[in-house]
Amino acid sequence: MLRVGLTGGIGAGKSTVANRLAEHGAVLIDSDLLAREVVERGSKGLAEIVAAFGEDVLAADGSLDRPALAAKAFADDEARKKLNAIVHPRVGARTAELMAAAGPDAVVVHDIPLLVENGLAPAYHLVIVVDAPVETRVRRLVEARGMAEADARARIRAQATGEQRRAAADVWLDNGGAADVVLAEVDALWADRLVPFEANVRLGRPRPPRSPKVAPYDATWPAQAERLLTRIRLAVGERAVRADHIGSTAVPGLAAKNIIDLQVTVPELADAEALADTLTAAGFPAAGGEWVDDPQDGGEPWPKRVHIGGDPGRAVNLHVRSLETPAWRLALLFRDWIRAHPGERDAYAEVKLRLAAEHAEDGTTEPYTDEKQTWVNAAFTRAETWAAHTTWTP
């Protein structure tokens, strides 16, 4: 099952996008709808609200009088907390029920306006943000929904900023234009990304092989890596010692294959195996389910587990290494050393670009990676000297 979080400021077009995804076959969980259901007429939730806030929050027909409740519940923090303590657990339980009822191959889309405000992004495989300029949203809310302009502006002000949402977004849908434009993007997103992402995770499908292609440095790589790491950290919890962004995409200014390398460090090799299912469920299936040996000059092999990101829109290699081998430390040392040495960084970029050109027709990255390792192995010696002089620690 793929869990997709869908959010955006009020009036941006969340419902428009959600409905289209549902037409394609997504299982839609609408948190606003659930919040109304759990306090509908005759519900236990409504009875608790009446017990907490008094009979005068009821309309004549026994349903909730929302403006009357809002006047009381939003008067102060205590009252707001009391209301949330009644509504939130019920919405949570209902959401869990609906998730459990969705099939193992479902793409579940959770429409949740306050996803960013409540820090929920790491719980999803993918976060979609729908956005539109503030003035456009105000106009839609006033014209299409009949909201008072001051009310629309007040609600927009109370929500997260575009910048905050952007930091959480794996997919950014601009709905500032005609609805057709965003709907076409949604159609492509469904077919090219959500459907294969779900299948990749469920079936443990590896990324198709391709020739090495070195891209210019992308300044968004660190933020993309951090988003992935928050998901991984949430999934593995205390079973990992640490999770880090490693490899070339972690070095500012360095050209690299557009594949984000991440490293999860576990205490023992057996822990790497024990995490395999957890990482798969989090969206990073095991590449072949096998142990892979880290390259090194002579001596005992250094086994690791490799998982790959299931999202076809974001290539990720996730290396699970244990404290029992030196490889986890070397990955961090190499990154920190080359970050601190722009000359070495540029020399490394030259090597990569030359090798990528030589191997452009290979159809696989293996010979490229093997040859590149010669430079990296020599660099380790220089990095160790630097570490000794600077008393570097991971």
Please give the residue ranges that form the binding site for ligand ADP (CB under 6 A): 8, 10-16, 140, 144-145, 175, 178-179, 182
Cα–Cα distance between 374 and 295 in angstroms, integer?
Answer: 10
173/282 with CB nearer ligand ADP: 173
Q: What is the CA radius of gyration of the chain?
A: 25
- Give the shortest CB-143-to-ligand ADP separation in angstroms: 8
Contacts of 172 (CB under 8 A, 6+ apart): 129, 131, 166
Q: Which residue is nearest to ligand ADP (CB)?
A: 144
Q: Give the residue with the Cβ less far from ligand ADP, 13 or 285.
A: 13
Residue 358 CA neighbour count, 13 Å, CB half: 13
Q: How far is the CB of 133 from ligand ADP (least distance, A)?
A: 11
Q: Which of 44, 38, 4 is nearest to 21 (CA)?
A: 4
Rounded Cα distance between 250 and 226, Å, is: 10
Q: Which is nearer to ligand ADP, 157 or 389 (CB)?
A: 157
The smaller minimum CB distance to ligand ADP, of residues 9 and 283, is found at 9
Residue closer to ligand ADP by CB (options 12, 194) is 12
Cβ of residue 120: shortest distance to ligand ADP, in angstroms?
17
| Shortest reach from residue 219's CB to ligand ADP, in Å | 29
Cβ proximity to ligand ADP: between 100 and 178 the closer is 178
Task: Measure Cα distances from 182 to 11, 130, 158, 179, 249 in Å.
Answer: 14, 9, 25, 6, 30
Of 29, 170, 167, the C-alpha closest to 97 is 29
3-state secondary structure of 150: helix
* Distance in Å, CB of 191 to ligand ADP, minimum: 21
- Least CB distance to ligand ADP at residue 115 (A): 12
HSE-up of residue 131 (Cα within 13 Å, Cβ side): 18
Nearest to 160 by CA among 109, 126, 118, 124: 118
How near is the Cβ of 145 to ligand ADP at its closest, in Å? Answer: 6
Please give the Cα distance from 289 to 307 (Å, whole number). 8
Q: For tokens 């974001």, what's the residue?
A: 314
Q: Which is nearer to ligand ADP, 96 or 181 (CB)?
A: 181
